[in-house]
């Protein structure tokens, strides 16, 4: 579904050249859930933006669904760390934003029904008319999730979407996301810096080294779904994989306190 070949990214900043990513080869299969993990500044957000077509790679090739990425695609959705809702739009109207931007009134009604379904799926029915500031952070991020699902994307790119939420909401959202992915069969690339989240959600965890971001290792997670943090099943496997990821991330490569460069 997603193919990255020899991809690298160099930023020309005031302080000179910064090599954010180098020599990334990655193949993400259809309906696969991949988490990208690494220290801050390892270029994981940049990698996500390359796939999204928000940023052209300095070198290397990115393809989605067999086509070279030249810009944002309608069948790829992007979810941000913050909810990024338009404050003057109601919940429903925020969810409908992608449809509105695609233009064309065909199927508007159908999308509206879908928006209601999605809001119900994440437990927000009854809140359609509310404005974003009337909702909690977790509810806002759920609206954001509905918005990224409205156009039935083939690929969902998620940039630390739950990192600003409290622990409990985060667990709930992780459960919901797994359920949604099993139901809707989408390919997901999910950036996180939480080992726990990476293991819980992923079919494969991609570990990046910091500065420049290179593939450190790809770890297969063979634990049956749905997985949940609350239960004790497969505790030993989870502990074993988490330990391994910890080791990979902790390995000394470059100074860890290097400035943030993932944008």
Partner 1 sequence: MKTRSSWLTTSRTSAILLPVVGVIATIALWWLVIVLFDIKQFLLPSPYDVLQRFLEQPGYLLQQTWVSLVESLAGFGLAIVIGIPIALVIVRSAILERLVYPLLLAVNAIPKIAIAPLLVVWMGFGQLPKIMMALLVCFFPIVISTAQGMKSTPAELVELLRSLKASRTQEFFKLRLTYALPQIFTGLKVAISLAVIGSVIGEFAGSTEGLGYVIWNSGASADTPLAFAAIGLLSIMSIVLFYGLVLLEHLLLPWAEETR
CA-closest candidate to residue 51, choices 61, 41, 40: 61
Supply the minimum distance, in Å, between the C-beta of residue 67 and partner 1: 14
**The one among 61, 86, 167, 239 contacting partner 1 by CB under 8 A:** 86
With binding defined as CB under 8 A, does residue 62 bind partner 1? no
Supply the minimum distance, in Å, between the C-beta of residue 224 and partner 1: 33
With binding defined as CB under 8 A, does residue 107 bind partner 1? no
With binding defined as CB under 8 A, does residue 130 bind partner 1? no
* Sign for the pseudo-dihedral over CA of 112, 114, 118, 123: positive
Are the CB atoms for 182 and 212 separated by under 8 Å? no
With binding defined as CB under 8 A, does residue 234 bind partner 1? no
Quick one: which segment of 35-43, 71-79, 190-198, 212-220 binds partner 1 (CB under 8 A)? 71-79
CB neighbour class for 97 (10 Å; exposed up to 12, middle 13-18, buried from 19): middle
Supply the minimum distance, in Å, between the C-beta of residue 247 and partner 1: 34
Closest CB to partner 1 among 33 and 78?
78
- Report how far residue 126's alpha carbon sits from residue 112's, in angstroms, rounded to the nearest whole number: 14
- Report how far residue 60's alpha carbon sits from residue 72's, in angstroms, rounded to the nearest whole number: 18
Strand bridging mode 33-37 / 204-209: parallel
With binding defined as CB under 8 A, does residue 108 bind partner 1? no
The site for partner 1, by CB under 8 A, has a size of: 25
Supply the minimum distance, in Å, between the C-beta of residue 207 and partner 1: 26
SS3 for 5? strand
**The one among 35, 46, 77, 262 contacting partner 1 by CB under 8 A:** 77
- Report how far residue 165's alpha carbon sits from residue 136's, in angstroms, rounded to the nearest whole number: 10
Supply the minimum distance, in Å, between the C-beta of residue 243 and partner 1: 35
With binding defined as CB under 8 A, does residue 225 bind partner 1? no
Q: How many residues does the chain have?
A: 263
Closest CB to partner 1 among 163 and 242?
163
Supply the minimum distance, in Å, between the C-beta of residue 7 and partner 1: 19
With binding defined as CB under 8 A, does residue 215 bind partner 1? no
- Residues contacting 84, CB < 8 A, separation 6+: 144
With residues binned 3-state (H G I as helix, E B as strand, rest as coil), the percentages for the chain, rounded to 5, are: 35, 25, 40
Supply the minimum distance, in Å, between the C-beta of residue 114 and partner 1: 16
With binding defined as CB under 8 A, does residue 56 bind partner 1? no
x/- map, 10-39, partner 1, by CB under 8 A: ------------------------------
- Report how far residue 39's alpha carbon sits from residue 216's, in angstroms, rounded to the nearest whole number: 12
CA–CA distances in Å: residue 99 to residues 92, 93, 96, 119:
12, 10, 5, 15
Q: Which residues of this chain interact with partner 1, rule CB under 8 A?
A: 52, 54, 71-74, 76-78, 80-82, 84, 86-88, 97-98, 100-102, 131-134
């Amino acid at each position: 579904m997603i193919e990255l070949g020899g991809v690298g990214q160099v930023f020309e900043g005031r302080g000179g050249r910064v090599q954010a990513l180098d020599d990334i080869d990655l193949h993400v299969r259809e309906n696969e859930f991949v988490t990208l993990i690494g220290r801050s500044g390892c270029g994981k957000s940049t990698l996500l933006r390359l796939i999204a077509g928000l940023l052209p790679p300095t070198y290397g090739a990115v393809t989605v669904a067999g086509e070279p990425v030249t810009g944002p695609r309608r069948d790829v959705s992007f979810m941000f760390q913050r909810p990024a809702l338009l404050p003057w739009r109601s919940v429903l109207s925020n969810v409908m934003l992608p449809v509105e931007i695609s233009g064309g009134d065909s199927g508007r009604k159908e999308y509206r029904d879908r928006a209601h379904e999605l809001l119900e799926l994440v437990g927000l029915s009854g809140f359609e008319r509310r404005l974003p500031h009337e909702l909690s952070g977790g509810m806002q991020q759920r609206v954001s999730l509905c918005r990224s699902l409205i156009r039935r994307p083939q690929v969902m790119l998620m940039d630390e979407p739950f990192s600003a939420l409290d622990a409990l909401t985060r667990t709930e959202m992780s459960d919901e996301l797994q359920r949604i992915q099993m139901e809707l069969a989408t390919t997901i690339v999910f950036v996180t810096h939480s080992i726990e989240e990476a293991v819980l959600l992923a079919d494969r965890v991609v570990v990046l080294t910091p500065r420049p971001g290179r593939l450190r290792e790809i770890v297969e997670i063979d634990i049956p779904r749905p997985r949940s943090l609350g239960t004790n099943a497969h505790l030993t496997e989870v502990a074993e994989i988490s330990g391994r990821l910890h080791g990979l991330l902790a390995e000394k490569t470059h100074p860890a306190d290097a400035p943030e460069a993932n944008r």
